[in-house]
Amino acid sequence: MIGNDVIDLDLASRQSNWKRPRFLDKLFTGFEKELILSSADPEKKVWDLWSRKEAAYKIVNRETGERLFNPTAFECLDDGANGKIKYQSQILSTKTFYNTSRIHTVCSEGEKLLEKIGYCSRIQISKPDGFPVFVQNEDTFPASVSHHGRFISCVYLNR
Amino acid sequence: MTQTEIIDTLKSIVKPYVQNQQAFETLDEKTDFVKDLQINSANLVDIALDTEDAFGIEIDNESMQRMLTVEAALSIIEEKRAQK
C-alpha cells in the first residue's frame, strides 16, 4: 500500500503555531519531541515528522477503514530522510524529500516497495471505492493524493 | 451552560480553521471537520486545545481520536464536563 503527504511550509507556519502550549504533546511522542527540540530547525522538524505520520496514517486508514485522529499512535523511530514509523505492531518505511518551500513524504510497508513508487498527475487518479487509484492501460494501481497550499502530490505503487 | 451555548462556543472555536465557509454556515451535528469544513488535519489539535481551554476540560488521546465531527465533539465536551 502507499501513502503520501506534502506540506507547504509557508502555509503551515501561517496555519499553525507549533509553540503553543501542549501543541507538541498532543501530536508527538516523547522521543519525537526530543528530536524536534534538539533540532537546529525545530519548526521544520515538526512538519517533517508530521508529514511522515500523515503518510503512514493514510495507509492504516485504508487498511482498517477506520478514521481516527490519533497522531501519537504513530511514532517516528528515527530522524533521517529514510525513516521507519511504527503503528501498533506494524513498522512502515518512509522517504522524505525537502526543499526550502515544501516537505514531502512517501510511505509504504518496506524499503523495497518505496522503490516502486511512481508519480502521476491528478487527472490520472480516480476513486472507484473511495480510495485513490492510478489507472493506466486498463490496469489499476493503489495511489495517494496530497494537497496543501501551493503543492499537490500524486503517487502510485507500481508492481 | 445550555446545549445552545455549548454549540455556539464550539462554532466560535472551529471558525478560524474552516476552509469551506459554505459548509460552516449550514453546520449541524453531522458536520465533519475534515470532509465538510475542510479543516487541515494539523488544526484538529488546535480545536482540541481551544476546546480544553474554553470548557476547562482535558481531552485525552482516546477522546481526541474520535473528535472528527460536531456530534463527537459535543459528546466529548458533555462527558468531560460531567466528570469535573
Q: Rounded to an integer, what distance in angstroms lies between the CA atom of residue B32 and that of residue B47?
A: 13
| Residues A97-156 pLDDT 10s | 999 999 999 999 999 999 999 999 999 999 999 999 999 999 999 999 999 999 999 999
| Residues B15-57 pLDDT 10s | 999 999 999 999 999 999 999 999 999 999 999 999 999 999 9
Does the pLDDT value for residue B1 go beyond 90? no
B49 touches chain A (CB under 8 A): yes
Rounded to a whole number of angstroms, the distance from the CA of B1 to the nearest CA of chain A is: 26
Contact A8, A36 (CB under 8 A): no
| Of A23, A73, A148, Cβ closest to residue B49 | A23
| Residues A66-109 pLDDT 10s | 999 999 999 999 999 999 999 999 999 999 999 999 999 999 99
Q: What angle, rounded to 10 degrees, do the helices at B44-55 and B70-83 form?
A: 30
**pTM given for the model:** 0.96
Chain B, nearest residue to A27 by Cα: B45
3-state secondary structure at position A101? coil
**Residue among A26, A112, A16, A97 at smallest CA distance from A55:** A97
Contact call for A20 and B48, based on CB within 8 A: no
What nine digits make up the cell of B75? 459528546
Q: Which residues of A touch B46 (CB under 8 A)?
A: 16, 20, 23
The interface predicted TM-score (ipTM) is 0.94
For residue A56, the model assigns a pLDDT of 98
B71 touches chain A (CB under 8 A): no
| Residues A31-64 pLDDT 10s | 999 999 999 999 999 999 999 999 999 999 999 9
Residues 6+ apart with CB under 8 A from A7: A47, A50, A51, A102, A103, A104, A148, A151
Contact call for B46 and A23, based on CB within 8 A: yes
Chain B, nearest residue to A73 by Cα: B61
Residues 6+ apart with CB under 8 A from A135: A124, A125, A126, A141
Rounded to a whole number of angstroms, the distance from the CA of B74 to the nearest CA of chain A is: 16
Contact A51, A5 (CB under 8 A): yes
3-state secondary structure at position A80? coil
Q: Which residues of B touch A50 (CB under 8 A)?
A: 42
Q: Rounded to an integer, what distance in angstroms lies between the CA atom of residue A64 and that of residue B32?
A: 19
Q: Rounded to an integer, what distance in angstroms lies between the CA atom of residue A98 and that of residue A5?
A: 12
Does the pLDDT value for residue B84 go beyond 90? no
Chain B, nearest residue to A12 by Cα: B42
Contact call for B42 and A12, based on CB within 8 A: yes
